[in-house]
Structure 1
Amino acid sequence: MNQGKPTILVTGADLAAPALQLLRDYEIVFAGKTPSEEDIVALCRQHDPVAIIVRYSKVGERAMAAAPSLRVISKHGSGTDTIDKVAARARGIEVVAAAGANAAAVAEQALALMLACAKSVTTLNARMHAGHWDKSTHKSLELEGRTVGLIGLGAIGQRFAKMADAVGMRVIGFDPYAKAVPDFVRLADLETIWRESDVISLHCPLTDDNRNLINAGTLAACKPGVIIINTARGGLIDEAALLDALKSGQVASAGLDSFQVEPMVAGHPFLGTDNLVLSPHIGGVTGDAYVKMGVGAASNALAVLAR
């Protein structure tokens, strides 16, 4: 345990320079590129941090118990599902998130995945590189006039909604916690989202209530040929059900940036599926978002520590 400056543990290998400057009065301990939950517990036991900035891995009750000085757990981003919030509340540890810091980056990734699916970008690219010219046989989907259903209308969902509106899409959305939405978004229940959407894009946090929200039943309730986009959390989708729907054509294509188990393991059933566009949970990973999330996480932690 450090006897000089109080310690802040970062569950990653780095933090943006402006964030480190904000934290200059603290000893910063990095957990490494791919820390396990056991690594986090051991580092908490060794350094007794006053704050944890969460980039990767989970922070559970055992880590909190190993750090009696811990006062705040600050997420480097917006999703706090990797933090045991019940255990934190029981110990009086505040959980905060850099909400909105990566909104532009994630919304742009969702747009890229939607366009890639609608326009068969990856499939046509592979065909072209293999020497084919499919102009006379291929037809892409025109998004203008189509309906996109958004589940989650926070900072990311609303930014994506603005992009979809600019494309000329009709935007409907479900979010029981939304306090205000733009005029071009029509609030709808989930049954309407399934029934009317040509594209469904997920922008909500993962909770016990919405785990496997996209499943065999909800997919069957969708329009045939729907496009599914997920830049939120992998646990929102029953992956086996989605794969079946992709094979049957009930889902025309899907663009996924998050998965139930990360990193994706070799031999995953998704691999090699032609109508599935994949990216390795990098929606919020841009140079700008890296700085915004680091500064947001550091500022949030400092605000709690200053009380």
Structure 2
Amino acid sequence: MASSYPVVLVTGSDLAEEALSLLKGFSVVYAGKQPSEDELYRLCQQHNPVAIIVRYGKINARIMDAAPHLRVISKHGSGIDVIDQKAAAERQISVQSAPGANAAAVAEHTWTMILACAKAVIPLDRRMRQGYWDKSTHKSVELEGRTLGLIGLGAIGSRVARIGKAFGMKVLAYDPFAKSFPDECESSSLEGLLQQADVISLHCPLTEQTRHMINSDRLNQCKKGAILVNTARGGLIDDEALLAALDNGTVSWAALDSFAVEPLTAPHIWQSVENVILSPHIGGVSDNSYVKMGTAAANNVLKVLAEPVKRAATLS
């Protein structure tokens, strides 16, 4: 039976209670974990939502056309590359995001990854469990006095910069769109950053201009033995080029929280690579960020739906 309330479709299986309380005047429909395009299309046909809150999956023109009353697509987070923005604009559907809502969580996860690489946390743990005691032979990487290179300096990159400065690192940042740079870091060209950085961390969106920005040419510019961390978007890195750089020692460690194709399922390219640390795109998922992203997404829905409906121009 169709709901008497306008529908908000959530491309996931849950939403924070605080977000749900903001959507009391709506019927919230969940698409479930990792919904496919066909499942989202069917749900849009069935419920004709006025809004979609995007947690997982991609929203394309086909899905939009299945919901004639759709007015807003609101990302549960900051990355809107999973939404066909051109198709949305053509249909006068607003695309919203929640920048900064998960900044603390992603920055913390970035540093978890950096430290795990620099201090060889995983291999040391593995060796200990196998009965080895490597105190006389092991030397970790000390970060004080080293250079941290940040590609992207938004809410997340700025937090990572402050923590890097607290560790006593020199912090370089490449961001052609930044209007100013905080005291914790210096502006740099991308080439200069790659040549100097001992640790490189990605914090930029995925666009046609940034896709595969970390490729064989760029990796060949890196300082020998650099650590590369990606808690942004998987498509920023050419996987085959990174694999080669890890093999020849150009990159000593990589830590990846996002991938070009998700979910990452076995068999996959990184499965047998020992100097790569993997996590399933959970950098932005914490107890607090779950609430902040949910409430921001819900508030964005309410904001757009409160605006007058824009009508397409007609010929007289």
Question: Is 2:202–2:231's contact at 8 Å kept on the other side of the alignment?
Answer: yes
1:1-12 residue pairs with structure 2 within 5 A?
Answer: 2-12=2-12
Q: Distance in 1 between matches of 2:193 and 2:45?
A: 47
Give 3-state SS (helix, strand or coil) of 2:29's partner. strand
Amino acid paired to 1:228:
L
User: CA-to-partner distance for each residue in 1:207-264, whole Å, 9 max, x for gaps?
Assistant: 0111011111100011110110000000001111111111111100011101111111
Residue in 1 aligned with 2:311? none
Instruction: Give the deviation of 1:180 after TM superposition.
Output: 2.4
Q: Distance in 1 between matches of 2:10 and 2:184?
A: 40
Amino acid paired to 2:48:
D
Question: Is 2:8–2:50's contact at 8 Å kept on the other side of the alignment?
Answer: yes
Q: Distance in 1 between matches of 2:37 and 2:152?
A: 29
Q: Distance in 1 between matches of 2:49 and 2:21?
A: 18
Quick check: 1:112 aligned with 2:100? no
Residue in 2 aligned with 1:187? 187
Quick check: 1:198 aligned with 2:198? yes
Instruction: Give the deviation of 1:3 after TM superposition.
Output: 5.0
Unmatched 5+ residue regions in structure 2? 308-316
Q: Distance in 2 between matches of 1:274 and 1:88?
A: 42
Residues 3 and 275 of structure 1, relative CA distance in 2, 3 Å threshold: closer
Residue in 2 aligned with 1:83? 83
User: CA-to-partner distance for each residue in 1:71-94, whole Å, 9 max, x for gaps?
Assistant: 100000000010000000111111
Quick check: 1:176 aligned with 2:176? yes
Q: Distance in 1 between matches of 2:39 and 2:200?
A: 37
* Percent of aligned positions that are identical: 58
Residue in 1 aligned with 2:252? 252
Residue in 1 aligned with 2:20? 20
Residue in 2 aligned with 1:143? 143
Name the count of aligned residue pairs: 307
Amino acid paired to 2:272:
G
Instruction: Give the deviation of 1:2 after TM superposition.
Output: 3.1
Q: Distance in 1 between matches of 2:38 and 2:100?
A: 30
Instruction: Give the deviation of 1:177 after TM superposition.
Output: 1.3
Q: Distance in 2 between matches of 1:145 and 1:188?
A: 18
Q: TM-score, normalised by structure 1?
A: 0.98
Amino acid paired to 1:18:
E
Residue in 1 aligned with 2:261? 261
Q: TM-score, normalised by structure 2?
A: 0.96
Amino acid paired to 2:182:
P
Amino acid paired to 2:262:
E
Q: Distance in 1 between matches of 2:169 and 2:272?
A: 30
The more displaced of 189-198 and 69-78 is: 189-198
Q: Distance in 1 between matches of 2:80 and 2:171?
A: 27
Q: Distance in 1 between matches of 2:3 and 2:222?
A: 59
Amino acid paired to 1:12:
G
Runs of 4+, deviation exceeding 4 Å: none
Q: Distance in 2 between matches of 1:40 and 1:187?
A: 43
